[in-house]
Structure 1
Amino acid sequence: MVTVHLRLPAPLPTQVLDLPGSTELGALLPAGWESQAYLRTRSSGPLSLSAPLASLAHVGAPSHPVSIDVVARLLGGKGGFGAQLRAAGGRMSGGKNDNVDSCRDLNGRRLGSIKEAKKKSELVESLPALRAKAAAETKAKLEALERKLGVSSDAIDAKADGAGAKRLAEVDLEELARKKHKFDDNKFMEESREINENVRSAVAAALLKKKKKKTDAAKQDKDKASMPPPKVAATSA
């Protein structure tokens, strides 16, 4: 005889049965449960219902009870669940935030602070190059201005006997001031004139409206003052 602990699905209680070793496992299932449940042990998968009970007995202790679980079958889906999980995982990983500036290193410093310090150090190292670039741009602008005014910077630093270039002191500033530059943008002039006329018209209309309003108010006050007092009905004694 083999002692069987048959654990049924909750809330059904566990049954203790003493059965011969030649009993088939299918006999342990209640009637009509063959298509709705299957048998298994804690260390195995689904058991064959035609296998004898003695095949589950312990080799070293044949009298030891055998524990068998009755597990309800679950209806399967239409499939594609794994594909849906992979697609959802791809969407989640695609929108993952890789900003780790708030994290700390082994020394307790924030990674964002370390990055900021590196940027500042690189800026300090490149400061001479930036200053040289700014000086070169300033020099280029000055040379362009000197060429436009007809002044040579070499002549400024040259000696008095240098020839072929003007000195800055020799430039006739009054002559440069007398030069006039003609502005030929007719479209801009027309638009500017139209805007000025519109502003003047709007201001004149507002002033006229205000004046008319004051005149109407004064006329109403005058009409009220010229109206005779209301008559009082005589009462009989």
Structure 2
Amino acid sequence: MTMADTTTLLIDAFSPFNSLTLTLPSQTPLSDVYDRLCERYPSLPPHLASTLALSTHSGVIADYEQPLSSLLTEDEDTLITLRLGPRLLGGKGGFGSQLRAAGGRMSSQKTSNNDSCRDLNGRRLSTIKEAKKLAEYLESEPERLAAKAQTQRAKLEALEKRLGIEHKDSARKPGEVSVEVASGKKHRFEDTEYLEQSRELVDSVKSAVSVGLLKKRKKVKTSPSPDADKGKGAPEGKGKRKEVVEEKNSEPVPAAVVDAPPTSAIPLDAVGA
């Protein structure tokens, strides 16, 4: 084997391995280099082959199936300098999407209220927006009226089903609205038994309320006052005496007694004493 058929590798490894040298045939693929290094240097862990990568000073080697001769340059015919290091494990990912989401939130917080600005004709943008909204509202007015009429018709049909009323114009189209619904015609409620019961309930409630109010008034009138209780507690004998004295004093004196003249003294000789 000549020198042209062999290639010398100078590998810059990680600690505690500083530099490794190895001479291999030029047609050896790069994927076999680490196995040959483990044979040459038994202290290298062979189970770390999947976590280590060979790279040149210009970058990572893309194809590990290519031979060593493909890495030779014109200046270096037999010497190749490589670097042995651990592969960089990828993270959980999504950092770019997080940055984009944060940027979107920041941009959404910017104020975009330009309603106070004016266009080239001098009109405010807020006025133009309101005019557009009003035009859209007027355009959708027939649809809203039709939907409202449809809901009213559905309610009326449900009520008629409950009351057992049949329509004569059942042959009309489902989208049409009857003349009675459009004119607002009302149906008479003919459940007389229900009306009588409701009237009786109202009358009974009124009478019960009036009776309760009358009883309350009677209780207020018949309840004794504290002054009357004091008068009843006084002794009966003294009260009777006072009443008798007052009656005697208040009796009128007869007129004959008041107008009679005073009697004169009669001598005893005249009497025959």
Is the TM-score greater than 0.5? Answer: no
Give TM-score scaled by structure 2 length: 0.30
Rg larger in structure: 2
Give TM-score scaled by structure 1 length: 0.34
- Identify the structure with the greater helix proportion: 2
